[in-house]
Amino acid sequence: MSLITWTEEQFGTKVGFADDEHKGIFDRLNKLYDLATGGADRSEVGAALDDLIGYVADHFAHEEREMEAKGFGGLAAHKAEHDALVNTCVDLQSKFKAGEADVTEETGAMVKGWLENHIPTFDFAYSDALNS
Ligand code: FEO
């Protein structure tokens, strides 16, 4: 069973690019989680981790560009949330590459929990502005 499943009710922002990219994040997170908890080679897990982090960073930058273009007042607080997750993930990535950390069930649960909070709380808030 997938770690996280996108549904309109729980995660729909009513902003097309954001919903598409969130689905892309969920797919990559589920793949990473399955590899990491299924005993895959460390090189495969590392490649999936790199793919997820790169995709997430691109998504955050895309949202931030769109919020800025619309003059959305919540940009600074929203960007701070993004930066905090990226910092956590980049730290994990460097520790993983150094052999000092693994991708675990707890890692998956942490990212899942972050998305379940961030999308309804922060991403839903830009819906009207980005659709105006
Ligand atoms: Fe879709 Fe603010 O991340």
Q: What is the pLDDT of residues 57-77, one digit of tens each?
A: 999 999 999 999 999 999 999
Q: pLDDT tens, 20-56?
A: 999 999 999 999 999 999 999 999 999 999 999 999 9
- The CA distance from 4 to 23, in Å, is 10
pLDDT at 95: 98
Centre of ligand 1 from the C-alpha of residue 41, in Å: 30
- The CA distance from 97 to 76, in Å, is 31
b (16+ CB within 10 A) / e for 83-121: eebeeebeebbeebeeeeeebeeebbeebbeebeebbee
Asked whether 49 lines ligand 1 (CB < 6 A), one says: no
Q: pLDDT tens, 113-125?
A: 999 999 999 999 9
Q: Is the pLDDT of residue 100 over 90?
A: yes
Alpha helical stretches, state H, 70-104? 75-97
Are 80 and 121 in contact by the 8 Å Cβ rule? The answer is no
End-to-end CA distance of the chain: 38
The pLDDT of 82-87, averaged and rounded, is: 98
Of the candidate CATH numbers 3.10.129.10, 3.40.120.10, 1.20.120.50, 2.60.120.200, the domain formed by 15-130 belongs to: 1.20.120.50
Atom from ligand 1 closest to the CA of residue 18: 1
Centre of ligand 1 from the C-alpha of residue 43, in Å: 28
pLDDT at 1: 76
Confidence band (pLDDT; 50, 70, 90) for 131?
Answer: very high
pTM of the model: 0.97
Amino acid at 57: A
pLDDT at 132: 87
pLDDT at 78: 98
